[in-house]
Structure 1
């Protein structure tokens, strides 16, 4: 039986608001410039060298729920089992098996087949795991027999089918590192090269496995090529809110005024909401033993090695800030000068000798600095010797720390609007200079300066001429050729933060210190509590007055529509039967049937 999506963890209201508002703010930025969270499946789920199938399903499911977007996946091809395994060792069926009830007490001996003289020198111990799986001890590893790549694919498939609301749809990425499985007779020795008939064929290819179950969700290389070649018929054909910000890629125009791009990527809103695509896959590293593997087989499913990943070497100062590898450049004004396309860092040191809370705090500081510098942090260490299925909390904290926008505990809960329909409490966002440039929610009627973007430049900002309320600042607070705006990526946020720290503007001497250290950004939840939107104080929540009510209403409408269809079908059948009965009495009369307009919308 294949694994399914199974998780009993969930995001709290604040975490959900953080992820959703950040997704929406970055919704028009091309996906290659949006930092996200990455995790090594080997570290998070199998760091104890136990490849338990049931535990793996729960681990992958939990990581998806708590917000990890990019999965770094190590798979091992077993010529013996003709399968892509998560266990680094291939288990041949002709090796004797010793069954024990625990790791130390033998109960019986059996073989899966008659052992040959050569293989009889080695035996494999079968142990029952706490989850009910049978694990085979293969050197330092304990492995379920058939924990494979198809299990991961099935969990993703079920997850995508479970989370279908606009409120919960996010782009996911899978990077595949290909290895050859070692032999069970020498599990700690390097695997031999896989050649000839030992290589995958047909449905065994990774691309075929993904295509069979997830093709409707995958954004494929051919789609990117087609859309790049004719922007007028792809990214620019949709509504304005779904179009990518053009300052982030090169646009070329031919004599027919048809536009194309050699380097652009679609934005999140276009992918997730307009095209309903939720997954991109690429090859990562490929071991020399697998060099003959045909990556081009069904090449339209998986991007080539490194296409979605640019690993950046970084070095850190003692306080966790980046000494090298940061994409912030104070002299830059265009994206081409700080091109952090697909930038990723897998260097997140885990300090020793600290309590768990202090260790997490130190790690989240580094992660925040990485995202502020335009890099996706990749967690490739097992946290506190516990896999995510055993203790999800530290993995949850690391996932949340990859958010570049809100400060800890923000956005704080807001009360209802006043009698005039205008929020009188914490429904508007400011960048807080006392919190390293992160955001927090404050009263919309307070007086603050506003952050104003110069033209359409991603990294160039000015300050409003005077402090004012959120509404007044948005309507007429910014200087000419600027508009009140919000940073849309971690790197844009850093540029605004650094500008505010080093600005030379002459501020109103009568303004309060708080108004100078808390600057309005274009984000509010005035319309609906916890629904944070850009576009000014009068921009409504796109998810209805109550997101949960919206989902309930969607189900109800579908149910009612189904009932109406059944009633109409029954009535139609009744009418036709009645007509047929009349026809039997009036043989010469021909009735062509009823015409009706169909189900009302």
Structure 2
């Protein structure tokens, strides 16, 4: 939290690719030009690649036995209770899992960032029939999970499904996890392996498919589709290009003050799907629209930033390979040096022994050479 007090020395002191996106928080500047924020959160790239951290930790429910504990002593490491978890109490749904209240999909796009919370989560909904018995139907829960995710709220499971733990039967919990995925469609991103190797390299770009509820599908980068463009500084304001274009030139087709982009959150993806429906474009039956997501640089490493974007893990991989080479090289060189010294020592001793043996050799009167003094 101390990073918020001086963004100049924290969030803004790293490479542009790791800086938290300014669309999601407000900043203030003092008379010395120090920029700060009260409610902003760092991006994953900043936390992982710049700070080298993997975990955000916060206090949950505190038992009465710990009421006397000094929690302020851990405030620099552990977030206070409720700080990174905001349960939405105004969410309700019908028996089929469709939300009747609590969706962040608002008509006024400018108000969404003010209302939505980064840590919004749905608690156990009162009145909803959770599938806890062995014969229960899990489909309404899966629908509820998908709908709450698409509406900008993180689903929260706190019941036992179908009267079985995950150890006894993992399938319902696996299906629940799948229902929280808002980006890739099932079995995507696929590893295309056509007979023509040159064609395989073209299936490295992502499209959002309106016929799959906005899920993403890998497509041939050279094909012509409409492209998704996001308004500058407005993460939920999307526009669709007026004409189809290949992935590499998609940004050129975006209108002024818009840029070729990919949704960062489930709620953004929902607004993009809404923009696709309202645009009434002729999708020629495929329902696809380019989003700025590709693995052109490194197969399997999907990145944003257009066709020239690079994989952020390549540098880490190179450093790891370099360290591995050092781990192998240093002992090898040391072993060679030891062998050379050992060999030189043996050669020197052998030469010295040879000279000594020559000095100790004596010839007797009978012409026979003896070592030392003949008896």
TM > 0.5: yes
Q: State the TM-score, normalized to the length of structure 1.
A: 0.51
Matched position secondary structure for 1:562: helix
Q: State the TM-score, normalized to the length of structure 2.
A: 0.79
CA contact (8 A) 1:345 1:378 kept: yes
1:435: how far off? 1.7
Match of 2:244 among 464, 467, 473: 467
Question: Over residues 33-77 of structure 1, what are the superposed CA-to-partner deviations in whole Å (9 max), with x where a residue is unaligned?
Answer: xxxxxxxxxxxxxxxxxxxxxxxxxxxxxxxxxxxxxxxxxxxxx
Match of 2:331 among 541, 557, 566: 566
CA contact (8 A) 2:47 2:53 kept: yes
Counterpart in the other structure of 1:330: 107
Distance 2:150 2:194 in 1: 33
Does the C-alpha gap of structure 1 residues 407 and 399 become closer, same or farther in structure 2, counting only changes over 3 Å?
Answer: same
1:415: how far off? 2.7
Question: Over residues 134-174 of structure 1, what are the superposed CA-to-partner deviations in whole Å (9 max), with x where a residue is unaligned?
Answer: xxxxxxxxxxxxxxxxxxxxxxxxxxxxxxxxxxxxxxxxx
CA contact (8 A) 2:295 2:302 kept: yes
Matched position secondary structure for 2:292: strand
Distance 1:513 1:557 in 2: 50
Match of 2:183 among 385, 405, 408: 405
Counterpart in the other structure of 2:204: 427
Equivalent residues in 2 for 1:149-228 (5 A)?
A: 224-225=1-2, 227-228=3-4
CA contact (8 A) 2:260 2:291 kept: yes
Identify the structure with bigger relative contact order (alpha carbons < 8 Å, sequence gap 6+).
Answer: 1
Counterpart in the other structure of 1:232: 8
1:342: how far off? 1.2
Equivalent residues in 2 for 1:56-455 (5 A)?
A: 224-225=1-2, 227-288=3-64, 290-313=66-89, 314-333=91-110, 335-347=112-124, 349-351=129-131, 359=138, 361-415=139-193, 423-424=201-202, 426-455=203-232
Distance 1:458 1:398 in 2: 27
Task: Name the structure where helix makes up a greater proportion of residues.
Answer: 2
Match of 1:519 among 289, 292, 298: 289
Q: Which entry has the higher C-alpha Rg, 1 or 2?
A: 2
Q: Which runs of 5+ in 1 are unaligned?
A: 1-223, 579-601
Distance 2:261 2:117 in 1: 22
CA contact (8 A) 1:416 1:423 kept: no
Question: Over residues 375-424 of structure 1, what are the superposed CA-to-partner deviations in whole Å (9 max), with x where a residue is unaligned?
Answer: 11111112222222333333233223222211222222223796668834
Q: How many residues align?
A: 337
Counterpart in the other structure of 1:24: none
1:236: how far off? 0.6
Match of 1:497 among 254, 259, 273: 273
CA contact (8 A) 1:347 1:377 kept: no
Distance 2:65 2:299 in 1: 55
1:493: how far off? 0.9
Q: Which runs of 5+ in 2 are unaligned?
A: 345-375
RMSD: 3.1
